[in-house]
Amino acid sequence: MALNCWDMKKCGREKGGPKVAEFGVCAAYPDHGRDCWAVAGTLCGGKVQGSSAEKIGNCRLCEFYKGVMMDDL
């Protein structure tokens, strides 16, 4: 079974997650858990990120991103 970003990153922004009250449900949930880098408003490094163009540099350093790109997750 393929992992979604919230499964690996444990961000807590999936529906019913512990960070929903603080940050809201993630914009990637539930349909973009395998391509979260393409979605504005995801949580990384403890803060909500901007557009995909603004955040892609950081995403390319992410273990989840690398795993998906290598088809390991």
52 token code pair:
């995909």
- Name beta bridge partners: 43: 48
Q: Which residue has the tokens 């408003």?
A: 41
**What is the band of 55 on the pLDDT scale with cuts at 50, 70, 90?**
very high
Output the average pLDDT for the chain. 93
Question: pLDDT higher for 45 or 7?
Answer: 7
Instruction: List Cβ<8 Å contacts ≥24 apart for 40-48.
Output: 42/5, 42/11, 42/13, 43/11, 43/13, 43/19, 44/9, 44/11, 48/23
